[in-house]
Amino acid sequence: METLRNNKISETKEQIIQQLFIYRSLNIYQLYFFLNRLEIPSTYPHYSLDQLNRDKIRSLYNQLSQLKKSELVIESSKQPPKQYTLSEEGLSVAFQMNNIPEVEGYRRTGWNAEYGYFPYDLYRPVKERLQKHHQHAIDFNVMLQLICIKYDLEYDYIDNRYSSVEYNNEEKGKKIFRPDGEFIVKVKNSNEKFHFWLELDMGTEKSHLLFDKFEKYKQYLNYVSEGVSHTELKGSIPKSILFVTTSQKHIWARWQNVFRNYMNSIDKWGTYLNLYVCNMEMIEHLILAHIQSAKETNTKLNNNLRPLIQDKSFIGQPKPSNAVRQNTVIASFCNLYEEEEEALQWKPMFTLTQLSNKENQVFLYIKFDRYETNGISKVIDFFGKMKSIPSMKQVNAKDLIPVFYYADEKPKSLIFEGCDQIEKFKSIFKYYLWHNYDTNEWFDMNDHEIDSKIINPLNYFKGNNHR
């Protein structure tokens, strides 16, 4: 600190240096937002310049030009806005400010503002080619800042320098697992959290690169999970990937491409790892939906289902498992027995509809909130194992009918073009329903709305509609 004072580095300049240290390279607006978090426009990433405090930006420019003069900061990038990055000397000052010894091997996790030593090579201005990618990553951080302020959440993150891990692959030897970052968004004073890996997508990656990317996730998970159960894994390792694209319009097209490569590569990890495809505009909804407690969602679902189950024409009210019976909430759902859930590694919720010949249709309730893979993987998983699960045998399970529930916009119909197992998938998803649990609307797979006052959706596939 002494030396800093002698060099006459004001507090504002220290803050600027700190932000550049954390984020490596920033433009004027990003710097402005990080230094004035409360002034991030609530419409971000859409905003106009007159929503910003011009004087503060003006002042930032001055500070930066002074820092440039004292050779602590350098600027780069041809197109405005310019990129500001620490010089080697500036980095050295940042290390001093953070009490980081400048020795190779002083590694830290990067969580909780515990930064370690990296050589200047990992702090220099990013190459022109990667500029857009880097900017996208920073913008994502600004977005999260805003969301956390708006909803009083906490978040912590490590960037790709810290999140890269070397691992051993049985066949191919040493490999590096390199996500674009790892994030934890937390509800204050609660255990609810959203822990995910970040993948930024410039929309330019070809199919086989996407495949390779997800294949590495599989390999890495295989590597770290040896002898560890899914439940144990969940404590330490993200169970989601947030795949953020730059494009605003072509999400659907991108989703299909990403989805099929994911399904072709991820293998058994599909039921563990949930891949969300979204753009900047969707992040807020996605995080809120994820963080909203499962209890709340279940209550709504239960309320919607109760009249359907009490309907006289509906046969086959399920008997809830022990776990549910002990619960104070009146549940409309069946669950598997605990040991069955254990074997499956996840916890299906379902209802049963009895057919005339005493066979049962299994309606499996699955969250599917716009472009996520987990639900689909779970249905496929359940379909494959259903016949061998004792309690499913017991109830004489015949058809599996997924009910995809969502809160926001109804996802488009499922398409499996380009998936290796397209025929299998199509046969699994021959029948399914959509259910908006907020508005209590039901749709069949051809997007026809089902008026639940007239037709009980749970009987929808019993009669003429069925085969």
Partner DNA sequence: TAAACCCTACGTATCTGCAG
Partner DNA sequence: CTGCAGATACGTAGGGTTTA
Measured CA to CA in angstroms, residue 31 lies from 37, 81, 86, 428 at distances of 10, 12, 13, 50
Cβ-defined contacts of 163-167 (< 8 Å, 24+): 163/110, 163/197, 165/220, 167/219, 167/220, 167/223, 167/224
List 7, 43, 65, 248, residue binding DNA (CB under 7 A) = 65
Structure tokens, 237: 């390792």
Cβ proximity to DNA: between 78 and 129 the closer is 78
Least separation in angstroms between residue 274's CB and DNA is 36
List 3, 6, 79, 446, residue binding DNA (CB under 7 A) = 79
235 touching DNA, by CB under 7 A: no
Q: Give the 3-state secondary structure of residue 402.
A: strand
Contact between residue 313 and residue 295 where contact means Cβ atoms under 8 Å apart: no
Cβ proximity to DNA: between 79 and 313 the closer is 79
**What is the C-alpha to C-alpha distance for residues 317 and 195, in angstroms, rounded to an integer?**
37
Cβ proximity to DNA: between 49 and 454 the closer is 49
51 touching DNA, by CB under 7 A: no
What's the N-to-C CA distance of the chain in angstroms? 77
List 2, 6, 49, 170, residue binding DNA (CB under 7 A) = 49
Q: Which stretch binds DNA (CB under 7 A): 51-59, 206-214, 223-231, 384-392?
A: 51-59
Structure tokens, 395: 């109830």
Cβ-defined contacts of 68-73 (< 8 Å, 24+): 70/7, 72/9, 72/13, 72/17, 73/16, 73/17, 73/20
**What is the C-alpha to C-alpha distance for residues 192 and 190, in angstroms, rounded to an integer?**
5
Q: Which stretch binds DNA (CB under 7 A): 62-70, 140-148, 241-249, 317-325?
A: 62-70
Q: Which helix (H) or strand (E) holds 354?
A: strand 349-354
427 touching DNA, by CB under 7 A: no
Q: Give the 3-state secondary structure of residue 208.
A: helix
37 touching DNA, by CB under 7 A: no
Q: Which stretch binds DNA (CB under 7 A): 48-56, 237-245, 254-262, 351-359?
A: 48-56
List the interface residues with DNA, window 82-101 (CB under 7 A): 82
81 touching DNA, by CB under 7 A: yes
Q: Which stretch binds DNA (CB under 7 A): 74-82, 87-95, 200-208, 387-395?
A: 74-82
Least separation in angstroms between residue 144's CB and DNA is 22
4 touching DNA, by CB under 7 A: no
38 touching DNA, by CB under 7 A: no
Contacts to DNA by CB under 7 A: 10, 12, 27-28, 48-49, 55-56, 58-59, 61-65, 68, 75, 78-82
